[in-house]
Amino acid sequence: MPPEAPPPAPKRYVLRKAGPAKSYRIDYRRELNAEQQAVVFAPDGPTVVVAGAGSGKTRTLVYRVSRLVEDGVAPEAILLLTFTNRAAREMTRRVERLLGADLARMTAGTFHSVGARLLRPHAELLGYRPNFSILDSEDSKDLLESATSDLGIPITERRFPKGDLLRAIVSFAANTGQKLDAVIGRDYPHLLSQLEPVKAVVRRYLERKALANAMDYDDLLLNWRRLLETHPEVRKALAFRFRAILVDEFQDVNRLQSEIVDLVAQDSEAKNVMVVGDDAQSIYSFRGADAEALLGFPDRYPGATVYRLETNYRSTPEILRLADASIAHNSRRYEKTLVPTRESGVPVAVVGAKDLLQQAEFVAQRVLELRDEGTPLSEIGVLYRAHYQALELQIELTRRGIPYEVRSGLRFFEQAHVKDVLAHLKLLVNPKDEMSFKRALKLLPKVGERTAAVLWEAVSDSHEPLAAFLALELGKAPPGARAGLLRFRETMRTLKKASYASSPAEAIRYVVEEGGYGDVAKGKFPNHSARLDDLEALAQFALAYDDVGRFLEEVTLYGDPSGEDQVAGEEDDERLVLSSVHQAKGLEWKAVFVIGLQEDRFPNLRACKTPEGLEEERRLFYVAATRAKDELTLVHPLTAFDRYGVVIVTEPSQFLRELDATLYERWVLDESVDASLSPAPERPRLAADPTLVPDDEEPVN
């Protein structure tokens, strides 16, 4: 009988029991609300966090990184992309304080700084040496101008774009994936006649960079993408290295940056990418930002989870209801409703002012009232769509001694283009004005500091240097400069006529339109449209004056606050803040005024040529409204003046008209005479031309 077979081995079955709860150093439940906790503990995988204004987005990201580290993710396996290195450093420091750990090995920074770090070990794969140089914006501008000279094109040639403008065009094309031809044709049509020379300069620029083993800021991104596209082994290595990818302010990324994120995640099995942003605050398309990167994320990552941070800690319910009602008119957006944590406050005020002067007077008076009620000047912000809209207000604030700072650039009369044009008018009043003479001359092709000094020396001893210059023999002037000098002489000869001396508005327009400054601006400034709008607004302002000298005296005195008595603030350096809405993103004040809410100005007519443009303008209004914590005041002038000083009635902004009247309180301004107040000097009561359509606001100099 065969031996009995051994019994089969028993099958083992593991009975799982609930273990002790995970112990964390940080008490996430105590320190975060339920929405924030959901994001912090979100499982791996593609994730969108729609973070409403004032909802604690940065705090949530900091705790998300902390939780990942507490759960065993090595710092070197985390990639955190931000829009400033300062933001990356601050987030890293906050995580280190929370955990009591060193996160130096975590890869955190801007797309450009991280790109530079990742490119160096692989530089030779792209034809560079690892010690490649990085060109900053000024270096790029200088090299473009050098490339221009290499091709025999004088860098002082009026019609050819200057280095700053060339750099802006090349950068925008690179970051948006557009051809140079398309960018120039759409945004700089005045340069179409120079298209082939511009392309030649760009090719030479690329050659010079390659010879110098150098990359500019755009190359850091272009080469990062190229490395990932052409070297799958590197791409897979990065996918293996980074277990978690987090991107802050994702509504502001451009096409190139979005493609880099997608490529880094491409070979990751979990595609553990978390992007954080607010589509309602996507307002930088003029810089190349692409709102579709955030809006289209679920399409690119099927199965992506969408979380919403809707609890708002900043604003009163009244402000949030108005902001939500406004943005709801956008068709392309993530649905969300801001939920206030604060108690009810004062109603939003909508104020109709009869013109820009009354708008300025109202804002100045109300600012002083708020100061007297206990709101520091530094906790009050005045926001506008374009820089020129603050012209009247800046003068009124100076007249009343209210100290202020301009976050959107320089004070109006300190801007280069304003000073350039006013230099021509100053020469009419004071022919011995050396600084104005040289400033005007240096705007001409082939005229630099040396040539301007020589010409001034030739006429400075004359009783009337301008008249002497008009009669001066120009045979010894640099050959390339003669045509410009002759045109300038004709401009000044025309301006000396009595009709222009008594009409500063027409003198300004003549300098811009006939004297050639419009061409100078187009070749010199990337945001030339906004600057030309400023100059037309200046001409509108000057319509109230019938004497060039009086006009110059007043704008000089009112444009310079030095020597003026200032109202007392809580601190010596306390100042009211004036800012474009673009520059105000991410900031907040107790009280906010949004001025200039007239149709065709806010929203901007030029920006509203497409449905997408109108929606971005509405997002801009949303950003402006959500900067306010306690009080929001929306002001719209009721009239304006056309080019010739004729009063016309203007419509309130579309963004006001589409709001339900229950969302705000309407204020009507009555004027009364207060004998206790010192009489104000006679002032122009004109508004800017309603046909003006400002370009997207950029810092100006």
Q: Does the pLDDT of residue 82 top 50, yes or no?
A: yes
Interval 173-180 mean pLDDT:
92
- Residue-wise pLDDT tens digits, 629-679: 999 999 999 988 777 677 888 999 999 999 999 999 999 998 776 655 555
Residue 691 has pLDDT above 60, yes or no: no
Cα dihedral 423, 429, 435, 439, rounded to 10, equals 30
Report the DSSP pairing between strands 305-309 and 273-277. Answer: unpaired
Enumerate the β-bridge partners of residue 476.
none
Task: Report the distance separating Cα 558 and Cα 81, nearest Å.
Answer: 45
Instruction: Tell me how far apart the alpha carbons of residues 140 and 215 are, in angstroms, rounded to a whole number.
Output: 9
pLDDT of 278 over the 90 cut: yes
Q: Picking from 428-432, 442-446, 593-597, 689-693, which range would have the lowest pLDDT averaged per residue?
A: 689-693
Region 153-179 average pLDDT = 84
Q: pLDDT tens digit string along 301-330?
A: 999 999 999 999 999 999 999 999 999 999
Q: For 360-379, how does the pLDDT look when each residue is reduced to its tens digit (9 = 90+)?
A: 999 999 999 999 999 999 99
What kind and span of H or E run contains 694?
A: none
Q: Write the single-letter amino acid at 666.
A: R
Residues sharing a CB contact under 8 Å with residue 317, sequence separation 6 or more, in sequence order: 340, 342, 343, 344, 345
At residue 289, what are phi and psi to the nearest 5 degrees? -60, 140
Q: 187 or 41, which is more confident?
A: 41
Q: Which residue from 28, 42, 38 is spatially nearest to 272, judged by alpha carbons?
A: 42
Cα 625 from Cα 631, distance rounded (Å): 10
Query: Which comes out higher in pLDDT, residue 409 or 86?
Result: 86
**Structure confidence at residue 533 (pLDDT):** 85
Closest by CA to 391, choosing from 684, 120, 153, is: 684
3-state secondary structure (DSSP) of residue 440 = helix
Whether the per-residue pLDDT at 155 is higher than 60: the answer is no
Q: Is the CB of residue 543 less than 8 Å from the CB of residue 684?
A: yes
What is the token pair recorded at 583?
A: 């520059």
pLDDT at 563 (0 to 100): 39
> Quick one: angle between helices 504-513 and 517-524, nearest 10?
60
The per-residue pLDDT of the chain, averaged, comes to 86
* Three-state DSSP string of 316-374: CHHHHHHHHHHHCCCCCCCCCCCEECCCCCCCCEEEEECCHHHHHHHHHHHHHHHHHCC
pLDDT score, position 690: 35
DSSP secondary-structure letter at 177? T
